[in-house]
A and B are shown apart, each in its own frame.
Chain A
Amino acid sequence: MADLSARIGSLCLKNPVTVASGTFGYGLEFAEFYDPSILGAIFLKGLTLLPRAGNEIPRLVETPSGLINSIGLQNIGIDEFAARKWRELEDIDSAICVNISGTTVGEYEELADRASRVPIVRAIEVNVSCPNISHGGVEFGRTPAMVREITAKCAAASRVPVLVKLTPNISDIVEIAAAAMEAGAAGVTLVNTFLAMAIDAEKRRPVLSNVMGGLSGPAIKPIALRMVWQVWRALRCPIIGMGGIMTGTDAIEFMLAGASAISVGTANFVNPAAGRDILSEIGGYCERHGINRVSELIGAAHHDK
């Protein structure tokens, strides 16, 4: 049995399989299908300072091998999470990571501070990439200067490691990732969804109430993989790779491109036990290829390694 442990800076995970924010609820929604404690980490539904109602429906539309969503960060807010909700997760033996979104730099700072004080929280994921809210979100993730500022403030305010979740909707992912790492991030999560839309030809209208949303699923995998590759090649920094991972082989590809851990997102909807199955397939891959430590795979596809 290979050593599956993974490290994202100072954050140690029992294995590289994590589940992505927004696709796994508040950690227990899939618990009847498999024990979430087997996961390396669980990224909870994004939290904001105040509860958010989210967008009108339709919020989802399927596209070839993909899904566009515009949920609009519907969430319970940090107060409810910090006061009560976290206690439901006390018995989960997996690294609980809180994803935060602000509308100002000050809000990010406050969220990082307050979320990191919650006893079970092992890391903060700073979401500067949500395409579905009218203020903040992806706007903060589009320039290196802004990412640098928010990351530095959050890293200073947080008591636990800070990861930064980046948007792919920019021209150069490397300079954004570099800004996050220079400002004190323990690692970067690559990538959030791609800005997209669908139109109903019969109704002659956009399908989503919010017009645009974020595309996820197998359709984005080659682009996400390329971005992980580029960031690893340039920065050799800890990366949580994601974007259309459906199988253990997909996960291995992201690790070979440079990811230290991977995140399962849309696949959770297709297969409610996707996290468990992908973890088991990674173990099987290591066995087949005589890999003693899964970390040996990180960046192994780069020619010059």
Chain B
Amino acid sequence: MKHCVNAVLAGVEQLDADTFAHVYRAPEIARDARPGQFLHIRVSSQTTPLLRRPISILWSDGAVHVQTLFKVVRSGTALLAEKREGGLVDIAGPLGNPFPAHDDLDAVMIAGGYGISPLFFLGGMLNPDDGRFVMARPRRRTLLYGARTAEGLYLRDRLADKFDEVIYATEDGSLGARGPITGVLGAVLSERSNIALYACGPTPMLAAIINQIGFHKTHSRTPCWLSMENQMGCGVGACLGCVVKTRDGFRTTCKDGPVFAARDLIL
């Protein structure tokens, strides 16, 4: 069920110069939120900027609080970053389709930068010891996490209980393997079978993942779910402003996505 509520901003954490984590008290939304879904947040009570901003859900306690992680990109997210603890924020959600879960396959999650957000949530929901509702029980949860520099790898101190193993890559080599995270993915795909892939990050990273799967014929049937980011209008599939190209024509990121099967996407 979708809700539009005035939620109390119960916590603000600044992770770096332009990256923030928010905690909202929004029981209606927290109860229903699933990894991959997003909140549509009104950043101003004025009419500029006019549209809401779609922000991926980082975590939900399933009862009261829902958390987000976001980066200040332009004026809209800058206004969101100015919100102070204790204030009210107009939030619609949870919107969009969550990641599907595969019980019998090892989960390999690939994150780029603040794309960690829905995968952090997913990692927790795949943990039989952690979740109050568990989506599935894969034998192993692996996170491949890449960014340009180590500073772009968020929440590193909080990943231990969400993932069984974490492999980092940075383009400058400041942490983990040097180069794009999709380089690490290549090795994982060569070594492992019976896996399901889940990814969120910049579109070039997602396109590279689709390419990688194409190279590995043994993974032609491996489920691969990609969470897309897009500018949105309505958030519910009405305005058709946020479409992505798929093998089935244009599909909305907000309602048909934001999670798409890799084989359907044309990036």
Q: Mark B218-247, 1 if CB is under 8 A from A, else 0.
A: 000000000000111111111111111000
Contact A71 B239 (CB under 8 A): yes
Most buried by A among B234, B235, B242, B244: B234
**Which residues of B159-216 are within 8 A (CB) of A?**
none
Additional pairs, 7, CB under 8 Å, beyond known A45-B240, A269-B50: A25-B236, A29-B237, A54-B243, A59-B243, A62-B51, A66-B50, A272-B4
Residue of A nearest to B90 (CB): A271
Bound-complex Cα distance A271 to B238 (A)? 13
**Which residues of A52-81 are within 8 A (CB) of B?**
53-54, 57-60, 62, 64-67, 69, 71, 74
Residues of chain A with a CB closer than 8 A to B51's CB: 60, 62, 67, 269-270
Contact A23 B234 (CB under 8 A): yes
Instruction: Please report B residues at the A interface, Cβ cutoff 8 Å.
Output: 1-4, 42, 47-52, 92, 230-244, 249-250, 255
Contact B249 A218 (CB under 8 A): no
Contact A270 B50 (CB under 8 A): yes
Total interface residues in chain A, CB < 8 Å: 33
With both chains docked as a complex, state the minimum distance between the C-beta of B80 and any C-beta of chain A, in angstroms: 15
21 interchain pairs, CB-CB under 8 A: A25-B236, A29-B236, A29-B237, A32-B1, A33-B4, A54-B243, A58-B231, A59-B241, A60-B231, A62-B49, A62-B50, A65-B47, A69-B241, A218-B50, A268-B234, A269-B51, A269-B234, A270-B42, A270-B52, A272-B236, A273-B4
Q: Mark A187-226, 1 if CB is under 8 A from B, else 0.
A: 0000000000000000000000000000001100000000
Contact B243 A65 (CB under 8 A): no
Bound-complex Cα distance A71 to B234 (A)? 13
A30 at the B interface (CB under 8 A): yes
Residue of B nearest to A27 (CB): B238
If A29-B255, A272-B234 touch, whether A74 touches B47 (CB-CB below 8 Å) is: no
Residues of chain B with a CB closer than 8 A to A272's CB: 2, 4, 92, 234-236
10 closest Cβ pairs, A-B complex: A25-B238, A60-B241, A32-B2, A29-B238, A65-B47, A269-B234, A218-B47, A29-B236, A269-B233, A59-B241
Bound-complex Cα distance A217 to B48 (A)? 10
Contact B4 A266 (CB under 8 A): no
From B4, B233, B236, B250, A74 is in contact (CB under 8 Å) with B250
Q: Mark A242-254, 1 if CB is under 8 A from B, else 0.
A: 0000100000000
If A62-B51, A64-B48, A67-B50 touch, whether A74 touches B238 (CB-CB below 8 Å) is: no
Q: Mark A223-248, 1 if CB is under 8 A from B, else 0.
A: 00000000000000000000000100
Bound-complex Cα distance A218 to B51 (A)? 12
Q: Mark A19-30, 1 if CB is under 8 A from B, else 0.
A: 000111100011
